[in-house]
A = this chain, B = another copy of it.
Amino acid sequence: MDCSTPFAPRGDKKSVEEGLEFAPKFDQDGLIPALAMDASTKEPLMLAYMNAESLRRTLEIGEAVYWSRSRQEFWHKGATSGHTQKIVEIRTDCDQDALILLVDQAGAGACHTGRSSCFYRKVEAPGAGKSAQLVPIGGEKTFDPGQVYGKP
Contacts and interface: CB of A to CB of B under 8 A. Distances in A.
- A interface bracket (residues with beta carbon within 8 Å of B): 35 or more
A132 B59 contact: yes
- Which secondary structure dominates where chain A touches chain B? loop
Contact of A59 (B3, B92, B121, B126): B126
Contacts of A90: 122-123
A111 B22 CA distance: 19
A67 to B, nearest CB: 15
Contacts of A151: none
B134 A21 contact: yes
Interface of A: 1, 3, 6-8, 17-22, 33, 35, 37, 41-44, 46-47, 59-60, 62, 89-94, 98-100, 111-113, 115, 118-123, 125-126, 129-137
For the complex of A and B, list the 7 residue pairs with the smallest distance between their C-beta atoms, beginning with the closest. Answer: A42-B42, A93-B118, A47-B98, A22-B132, A91-B119, A6-B126, A90-B123
